Structure 1
Amino acid sequence: MRERRRREGRRIRNRRRQVPPSSCRYRKGGGGEEEPAIEREIMSDKMNRAISDAILRMSERLGGNPAIEPEGAEGPIPDGRKPVEELHTETLGGSTTDRRRGHRLPSRLKLDIHWPKIEEEDARKGFYTIDVSATGLLFSSPIPFPLQQVLELLVYFPKHPKPSLVRTRVVRVTEAPGEDRFRIGVTFTEQIKGTKLAAAFAQYYDFSRFLKSAVEMGASDVHLTRGHPVLARCRGEIVPMKTARFDEEDIEHFIVGLLNEKERRLFDTEQVLDFSFEVAGLGRFRANVHRQRGRVEAVFRVLPREVPTLEALHLPKTMARLAMLQGGLVLVCGPVRSGKSTTLAALIEEINRTRRAILLSVEDPLEQVIPSRQSVIKQMEVGTDVASFAEAARNALRQDPDVLVVGDIPDPETMLSLLRAARSRITVFAGVTAESIPAAFDTLLTRFPPALEGEGYNLLLRSLRAVVCQQLIPRRDGKGVVPAVEFLLNTPPVATCLRARKWDQLTYQLQNSAEMLDLDTSVRELWLANLIDWEIASSMVSNPTILKQR
């Protein structure tokens, strides 16, 4: 650990030697002679050693002075106490994703900086916070600042009409990845009112505390809605959390702090945005940000912390055979919020655990990060790594995969590209939003151009290997949900029904095959395993007497 910190110190010192010439000007000394500015002075060997030691001491926090503890804040914002953590960048499955190493989420506030060397052009580019804590700030700047430089910041806190003065000292300077900007870490040097407000802001707008409570409650979703406390969905029921009723300004600060610049621009254009993020110690979350009557609101889905397996999800054992397919198409169907992405992740993990393969997964957004085991897992996010599902499916033919997994089939181009891949000995797993197997085929027919509907449907039937359709049922013990599944294999009798579009006869095929599974049998097995209540089970089967059959 200490050696890693030393390497980090050397890396930052090397970067300081590469500071642009504009920030390395000379200034007049007291006797009229030119003398180097502090940018030159800190490069002495003695100063380098002092800075290195300081960086080592502060590497686990943003340089906060433990002897200074902010007092309670004045005004409507309660007190805070959590330290700032650095925002790191990791490469996950080929995509670059901001990942929190601490327990808080970033917050954006506008800054003005009092420093004579800031030129007007740089000032126009703006300064804003990336993170705020009780001990310091991490902010984005178009120019670097010297280490140990004292800065006076004017911070524009919400619900306060005037900016607050905060006196700080620079302790960290890094380049912002993918941007022509710098990330500047500063610590507070004086206990003044602005410091108290910063500490209060850090606590009040720390949305991860609500996410942590939701995870502890076993919630599946968290709703952030104007005029309401934070709402959590537990076992299908909406439960208000013990929080204040947030107004529009509060929600804006919660949400904007989660978005990078690209996502902010996209949301301003589309007015709706899907993305995912990770909070260290809690797990990954999928977010949908949208507008309601012109105001920003959001829903957060709690994603599984561990990669699920087929056994853990209580899926049929016969589904394991899908991992060994060599080509063809497998559809995973279900209504919205039915766990399709989780089932696809379990199938990926089954392949990953049992065979050597190159597997491409395309999601929007990326949800479950799956490490490679036996197989090589490449996960791509629409909008970050690839422009669209259609482009990913089209490019897959040139990337030599054995397996291609897509979370959705949104358009005809994607549908045709997937079928071409399935006919090229690539096993394709695709998610389809549909409440039943017949509804899934109805949906897929709309994915073909009208002139190619007949030809496309025949190509679909020749490529089809299996269909999984599921819906979620609350567990009897209150620990989440469990899927009830229909599992259809494209056997010759099934293919005959599908060619004639006699989808109502598929239930008979499901009930009379030892390799397939119908919904009644799936629900009965869950009830016999004591996983679901009698009342729920009896309401889902065609005849309650089925449940008592052995």
Structure 2
Amino acid sequence: MKELDDYLKLMSEEEGSDLHLRANTPIFVRKHGKLVKLDLPPLTETQYLAIIDSLLSKEQKERLHREKTVTLSYQAANQARYRIHLFFEMQGVSIVIRLIPEKIPRFDTLHLPKSVEDFIHLESGLVIIAGPTNSGKSTTMASLIDAINRKQSRHIITIESPIEFVHKNINSLISQREIGIHTLSYERAIKAAMSEDADIITIGRLQHSAAIQSAIKAANADHLVFATMDANDIQEVLHQITSSNNENFDQHSLNKTLASTLKGIVVQHLIESVDGSRVPAVELLKNTPHIHDLIMKEKFEEIPAALEAGYQTYQTQTFYQSIRDLYRLEYISEETATRHLKDSKYGLLLQGIRHLSHNIEFGEAFL
């Protein structure tokens, strides 16, 4: 639809990541994490309903009224791709549109710890990419899959709602499936992938108990499974997984299976960088022998101390250690670092960090 495409073009010109639309309401874009009101007249009710009508199929309209929310992908006239989310709220239906980058970012441009890329060399197991909404989870996972695609020959099945980044077959064969179009549910798609000669299964959003159980089974059956989850920290990820138990597992069996199949958890938060963009602060878990035992015993409250202790030996890290490194490498300002570190012991060390050499590799141990 031309009118919608015009607004999307304007968002691009404003270097925005998200466009917020609602009838008779100012139009907003999100730019570098901050919401900015555009100097444009609001959409009329007629204009707004025409946009909704052009976006949704009959089935999607029925789902929106039944479930009060619907998510879809959209390709504009200029071939740019977007993820569109419609939802009911007090004033009616709102639309949030997120730009999907045309090119999949290379891993080394994301400012993530280098050891995160080690997960692409695994043969099997479960790797979770987590964070709050709009924290770059999908971008991180797409970048890891792209790295596999360029370096390895694997059959990769992605399960998404909707399909976001489009992968081309380079050295790997990639099959992308969208919930509601190519398959009915995450659970069915995961089970099917186990019979479709998949080496790697990626799951766009792991949240329901049945899908979580299916993902664990797939990882336990010699598949490498990457999945994203909405969670603020590693403990929350582990609680979500272990509380997903149903009649298929007793709790001890679930903990034992998770402890043996989980290979890593990456939790990322985007924070403001010195150049006005955003960089990820990352909490990183790798399944060390000590972490394995803590998961078995559900001693999740001891996980942060284990991550901190494993910083040099295993390249695990806490959120606070990540903030500390970002400041030392001059990605973030002292003000930003202070705001995030003030409640940790690293806040006491902040003044000393600026006197240390900055000539280090990202993620090198803080001395």
Identify whether the pair has TM-score above 0.5, normalized to the shorter chain.
yes
Could you give the per-residue CA deviations for residues 404-423 of structure 1, whole angstroms, max 9, x where no partner exists?
11022232221222122112
Question: Is 1:510 matched with 2:316?
Answer: no
The one-letter amino acid of 1:457's match is N
Aligned to 1:87: none
CA–CA separation in structure 2 for the residues paired with 1:545 and 1:235: 29
Q: Distance in 1 between matches of 2:217 and 2:31?
A: 42
Q: What residue is the counterpart of 1:71 in the other structure?
A: none
Q: Distance in 2 between matches of 1:216 and 1:526?
A: 29
The corresponding residue for 2:251 is: 453
Once residues 307 and 291 of structure 1 are traced to their aligned partners in structure 2, the CA distance between those partners, rounded to angstroms, is 31
Aligned-partner SS, 1:287: strand
1:220 aligns with 2:17: yes
**Residue equivalent to 1:526:** 326
What TM-score comes out, normalization by structure 2 length? 0.89
| Residue type at the aligned position of 2:185 | S
- The residue correspondences of 1:479-490 to structure 2 (distance < 5 A) are 479=277, 481-490=278-287
| Cα shift readout 1:114-162 (whole Å, capped 9, x = no counterpart) | xxxxxxxxxxxxxxxxxxxxxxxxxxxxxxxxxxxxxxxxxxxxxxxxx
- Higher alpha-carbon deviation: 400-409 or 224-233: 224-233
In structure 2, give the amino acid aligned to 1:297: S
**CA–CA separation in structure 2 for the residues paired with 1:483 and 1:537:** 13
Identity between Structure 1 and Structure 2 (%): 28
Superposed displacement of residue 310, structure 1: 1.8
For residues 251 and 12 of structure 2, the distance between their equivalents in structure 1, rounded to whole angstroms, comes to 45
User: Could you tell me which of 460, 469, 473 is aligned with 2:271?
Assistant: 473
Does the 8 Å CA contact 2:160/2:177 hold for their aligned counterparts? yes
Q: What are the equivalent positions in structure 2 for 1:87-166 lying under 5 Å apart?
A: 105=1
* Residues 1:403 and 2:203 aligned together: no
Equivalent residue in structure 2 for 1:388, among 166, 175, 185:
185
Q: Is the 8 A contact 1:360 1:380 kept in 2?
A: yes
1:347: how far off? 1.2
> In the aligned structure 1, how far is the partner of 2:49 from the partner of 2:146?
37
The 5-angstrom pairing of residues 139-538 of structure 1 reads: 206-281=3-78, 283-293=80-90, 295-449=92-246, 452-479=250-277, 481-513=278-310, 514=312, 515-538=315-338
Q: Which has the larger radius of gyration?
A: 1
Shift of 1:238: 1.8
Q: Can you list the C-alpha shifts for 1:329-349, whole angstroms capped at 9, x where unaligned?
A: 111111122111111111111
C-alpha distance in structure 1 between counterparts of 2:268 and 2:121, whole Å: 21
Contact 1:215 1:282 survives alignment (8 Å): no
Q: Distance in 1 between matches of 2:80 and 2:273?
A: 22
1:512 shift after superposition: 2.2
- Residue 444 of structure 1, CA deviation: 1.2
Deviation at 1:318, TM superposition (A): 0.9
Note the C-alpha offset of 1:545: 4.0
Q: Give the number of the structure with larger relative contact order, counting CA–CA contacts within 8 Å between residues 6 or more apart.
A: 2
Match of 1:157 in 2: none
Deviation at 1:281, TM superposition (A): 3.2
Q: CA deviation at 1:294?
A: 6.3
Partner of 1:520, secondary structure, is helix
Higher helix share: 2
Deviation of 1:233 (Å):
1.5
Which residue of structure 2 aligns with residue 151 of structure 1? Answer: none
Give CA deviations for 1:37-70 in whole Å, capped at 9, x if unaligned.
Answer: xxxxxxxxxxxxxxxxxxxxxxxxxxxxxxxxxx
Assess, with a 3 A threshold, how the Cα gap between structure 1 residues 254 and 375 changes in structure 2: closer, same or farther.
same
**C-alpha separation between the residues in 2 aligned to 1:303 and 1:476?**
24
Secondary structure in 2 matching 1:531: coil
> Is the partner of 1:208 in helix, strand or coil?
helix
User: Following the alignment from structure 1 to structure 2, what is the Cα–Cα distance between the partners of residues 380 and 500?
Assistant: 36
Q: Is structure 2 residue 347 aligned with structure 1 residue 544?
A: yes
**How many Å apart are 1:270 and its aligned residue?**
2.7
Residue 5 of structure 2 contacts residue 77 of structure 2 at CA under 8 Å; is this kept in 1?
no
Residues 474 and 218 of structure 1: CA distance in aligned 2, closer, same or farther (over 3 Å)? farther
**Deviation larger for 504-513 or 366-375:** 504-513
Give the residue type in structure 2 aligned to 1:519: F
- The answer to whether the 8 A contact 2:258-2:295 is kept is no
The Cα shift of 1:218 comes to 2.1
Residue aligned with 2:94, SS:
strand
The offset of 1:246, in angstroms, is 2.1
Q: Secondary structure at the match of 1:410?
A: coil
For residue 538 of structure 1, what is the amino acid of its counterpart?
T
Task: Give 1:40's aligned residue.
Answer: none
Deviation at 1:425, TM superposition (A): 1.2
Name the aligned partner's letter for residue 544 of structure 1: G
TM-score normalised over the length of structure 1: 0.60
List runs of 5+ in structure 2 lacking aligned partners.
357-367
Offset, 1:478: 2.1
Which letter does structure 1 place at the counterpart of 2:69?
A: V
Give the distance between the partners of 2:164 and 2:265, measured in 1 at CA: 22
Aligned length: 346
Relative to 1, partners in 2 of residues 1:349 and 1:434: Cα closer, same or farther, differing over 3 Å? same
Aligned to 2:150, the other structure's residue is in SS state helix
Q: Which amino acid aligns with 1:302?
A: L
Q: Match of 1:448, SS?
A: coil
Corresponding residue SS for 1:517? coil
Contact 1:520–1:546 under 8 Å retained in 2? no
Instruction: Name the SS for the 1:494 alignment partner.
Output: helix
Query: Is the 2:201–2:223 contact (alpha carbons within 8 Å) kept by the matching residues of 1?
Result: yes
The answer for the alignment partner of 2:365 in structure 1 is none
Residues 214 and 222 in structure 1, CA contact (< 8 A), matched pair in contact too: yes
Shift of 1:497: 1.8
CA contact (8 A) 2:255 2:295 kept: no
For 1:222 and 1:347, how far apart are their aligned partners in 2? Answer: 27
Look up the match of 1:50: none
Q: Deviations over 1:374-404 (max 9, x none)?
A: 1111111111111010001110110011111
Match of 1:290, SS state, is strand
Distance in 1 of aligned mates of 2:274 and 2:13: 18
